[in-house]
Structure formats: C-alpha cells, structure tokens
A and B are shown apart, each in its own frame.
Chain A
C-alpha cells in the first residue's frame, strides 16, 4: 500500500500551505507498515506537542510536503525508526522533551536530557521536577581483538561547538563512532511558547547562528502561512538575496576549512579572505555581518540602499573571480586530492534510507533542493562521489550558482513596502521548508486565537547528517575524522534545540 494513500485517509487539520492529516492509532500503524515497503516518502522530522506526535514527510518526486499526526495514548506512540532510521534521534528527543515514549524504537537511550535539568520532560503538560545530577552515558559497544576507545569532548580542540565523540578504533582504523550531543540545549522550543511570532523570531535566528537567515526565513514563512499573510514582493526578493549570501559565505568557509583539515593552508587563507569581504559587504548592506534578525515575520527588518547593493556587487565580483582560482588550487595539488578522494564515503543504501538533504545528500546523488518546492528552482546539480571530494565540489558548484542568483535578484529588485502585519483571529498552523546552506530547514508553528505561539518545532537538516557522519567514518583512519566531519559540517546547536 502507498504511504500517501494512508495519509489521505486521515482527518485534515488546517495547516498552511500543506495540510496536516490526523491519523488514529490503527492508521498510524498502517502508515508505518506502508512506509516499510514504499520508499517514496522521506522522513523530514518527528516532534511532539502535549497529547500529539507530528511527523513531516517529503515526496521529492511530486514534490510536496506531508504532515501527519497521531494522538499519544498512555504516553506512548508506535515508533517510526524501524522503517525510517532517521527517526531514531527524533524519537529520543521526543522522550526527553515531551515525555512521549516511541514504542518499538531502535534506540531508547536519552539524547538531549543529560540528567542536569531541574525538570524531566520540560515540554510535556506536567513536567516533573528533578534534582539535577549527571546521568551516566551508555555507549554502543564494539568488540574484537585490540579494539579500544577514544573519548573526545564535549570540549573539542578547535573553535567549534561542544559534543562528545566516542570512537572505537582498531589500530588506526575507526570501527565505530558515536556522537552524543545535547550539550548546547538551551530550551529554545519552550522559549517560543506563548510569544508572538515577531518576538519569537529572535530564537529562530539563534537556532544555529550560521543558518540564521535560513531558519529566520522558515520561521517567518510558517508564521505568515499561519496568519494568512504574505510578505511583500520587495521583502521576498531581499530575503532570497540574504539566503543566497548566507549560502555563499558558508560554502566559502567550509571549502577553506576542509582544505585546512587536510593541512592545506593556502586554500583556507584565500577562501577566508573572500568570505571576509562578503561579510563586510553584508554589514554595510544589512547592518549585520551574518544578517541576523534581518528576516522577520511579515517581511524584512531593513531596506537595501544603493550603496549597500554596490558593496554586495563588489564582494560578489571578488568571489566570482576567486572561485575558479580555488578550484584550480584544489585540483592542482596531488597531496590534497589524496586526502579527499574516496575519504568518508557514504554507502548508497544509507543515503536511500536516511534521505539526507543539502550538500550531504546532493553530493551523494540525491537531487532535491527545497527551492524546488516553491518553484524557485527547476532542478539541482548533484555530484556522484559521496566522499569528501564530492562534498567540496558540490559546495563549489552551489557557491557559483548562488552568485548568479543574487546578481539576477539584485538586477530586478521590485519596489514597494518591506513588511505586512500578521493578522490573527482564529487558531491556525503554518509550515515552511527553506533551503539553507546545509539543507532543508523546516519550521512548523501553531498559533492560538490571540496570535501567540501554542506549539512550534524548528528542524535543522543536521538531524539526518549526524547519524550519517557516524557511518561515513567507519573504516577510515582517526586522522581523517576532522576532514570528514568538516565535509559534513553538521550543526550542534541546531539539533540541540
């Protein structure tokens, strides 16, 4: 049976622009059964709300988004991880934040809750008070002659976010890696509740600082969809400009850092300088180097002046001239190629099972970009390789495409107002999917009659990248881990919530 058929059988809840279907317990089980044999729906996210569990699926052939929900009975709901392995981390978070147990889940260990909060299940209707104490962490085992463990973190050696990596190694080779996150859990979802979208937008902007525009935009579009508002054309164009600039500066950063982790400093220096010029232009144009809080529900927080536009165009000219130079440098050094080729290979079966978005997915041949949902893009380039090299090349291709897109947008900026006000009156829901530099950023929010947030979920693409990183490093040497890790560049804060 097709999973979409099961979803169509549910009761429609008014969520814009993609309706949410509410399934009863039997239909949820039928959905799970259908998903086992029907690969057409990719799992995007799974999250909770008091009394309910929601799931977001993506059909990339259509392309369209599906939202499905089921009621929680006795604190439990049938797990989806047996048929969609990407659900496992979401199910662990479901337990830690909402106190909902996924029955039959492939992994029931805690994820975000380290035992150090003064409450258990903080987003459940009745959080239990709890005396904070560090719970011992249990790691998946690896057995064999000469296998030993390397614990790393939560504080890492470089200037990066905190996380704990537990390596099992045999000689120099990684046998198993497990990433344990949650260290930067800030309670973001609880802080969103009861606030107006305008006030809550600053939390979406700080879900993952490097994707501040993408998450702000997903949040704003979901809030607008829920309120029946539409951002004015000039705001929509400026948002698209900022989104592409964010993609460009992050891709430049990652291309440089991947080379740096292969001890190839000149490329890092060159990419860093191009990125710095772009950030300075962004500061001149939008008043903030990372363009934080510039995308707001209803529109954008500021206009682009002709001087600002000129600054952006100058920085783009620099990047457009620099990118072919970076590629020549990248391809011209055998010692660098030796490090990146066939390193951190992602097995095709896992790409199919997890359906990762963004650079990680496209560098493994998965042709989806969230901009195809809105018709902003007809198709997207991909790379075959699925190794560190493919991910570097994918970023390079996307950086060039981002420059072309910003230039087109700037050439035809429509005049007009920058914001609309969000109306309210009836309880509504909205959802949006935005292609950030890492992949699809999803925002879902439900507003009450007063226009305040009743429940919300913000999903970073890294939820599916972390488990795949664990798989991609197997069989590689420990010394290549930083290189492979950087080629994924998953967000910690984005999934720690």
Chain B
C-alpha cells in the first residue's frame, strides 16, 4: 500500500545528518583571500565614461590621444566605455555650461556606485577662462564634487594618464 508508507516517511525524521555550520572565522578568512585574489586579477581596471560638459574640444583631442599606440591607455587597465552604466569613472571636461548641466547629472544618475568623478582641464576645474559668463555655471563642482582634478589647457595625455593611473592604484 502506498498511503501508509507515505505517512510513515512524512512523520519519521530523515536519516541524513543535520547540516554542518562552518566556523565564522574560517569563512571570513577565506572571503578575504578570495577578495584579495579577485582584486589582484580583476581589480586593476577602471571603465571610463568621458562627458564633454561644454569644452572647446581641446581636451577631447588629448583624451582621444590616450588611445593612440604611443600612450595605449588600455595597458594600464583603463578603457573608455560607451555608456555611463558601464563606467567606474566619469571624466568630465569643459566649463559646465547651463545647457549641459542636466545631461551631466543624468549621466551621473545612470552610473552605478561607486563612481569616481574626475574634472579634466582648467575649465572643468573652475570654469577656466569662461568663468563668469551668463551661459556657464563654473567648474564641474557646481553640480558634482570631483574626486580628482587634472588641470591643464588642455592637460597633456601624460598628465591625464598620471591622474587616471593614480585612480587605478588607489583602487587596487
């Protein structure tokens, strides 16, 4: 008969032993080793989303030059990505124009935490020569607090690399 056997199995405790509980110290130690290993293997990399918030395009020329074979920024684990949703860093140039402020804030809102804000170029630092214009809010910090500033008009690819590689080192 099926029913008595089912009832017996439902009421009888299982023959399998109770699950073991690992020692919390062991779990913590292993997690630490795992994180260290993944940081070592995968962590030395940052995805950058560049946002021109009103520049004269001089900064863009030098940022583009980071990708040429002489500078080759990908060897440092740095790469440019098309969407802020894939980015660890927002690299912002230009005096922040009133016309671009909302777009910059929307790009920031689309970037997952944690995010580094880098202000590149004299204009992004404080508005540069365009400071005081009716059309300009000032530097990036008018709406977002930068974590790193890279001055220059425009900063050279080497200066940009120094700043960005410092971010990778700080992260690693």
Contacts and interface: CB of A to CB of B under 8 A. Distances in A.
Contact of A273 (B68, B82, B103): B68
B162 to A, nearest CB: 16
B135 A155 contact: no
Given A185-B97, A289-B62, A155 B107 contact: yes
B99 interface: yes
A466 to B, nearest CB: 15
Contacts of A283: 156
Contact of A157 (B83, B100, B132, B136): B83
A161 B52 contact: yes
Interface of B is mostly: loop
Q: Give the size category of A's interface with B.
A: 35 or more
Contact of A191 (B57, B68, B107, B133): B133
Nearest to A256: B68
Contacts of A492: 57
A132 B135 CA distance: 11
Interface in B44-82: 50-65, 67-71, 80, 82
A207 B98 contact: no
B58 A132 contact: no
Contacts of B146: none
Most buried by A among B61, B69, B94, B135: B135
A273 B71 CA distance: 10
Nearest to B121: A209
Interface of A is mostly: loop
Contacts of A208: 56-57
A491 interface: yes
Contacts of B68: 269, 272-273, 275-276
Given A122-B134, A191-B133, A272-B69, A159 B99 contact: no
B30 to A, nearest CB: 41
| Closest A-B pairs by Cβ, 8 of them | A209-B58, A187-B133, A272-B68, A187-B135, A157-B82, A209-B56, A206-B56, A116-B98
Interface of B: 50-65, 67-71, 80, 82-83, 94-95, 97-103, 107, 129-130, 132-136, 153-154, 156
Given A155-B52, A183-B99, 9 more contacts: A157-B82, A159-B60, A184-B56, A184-B100, A186-B97, A210-B57, A272-B67, A491-B57, A493-B55
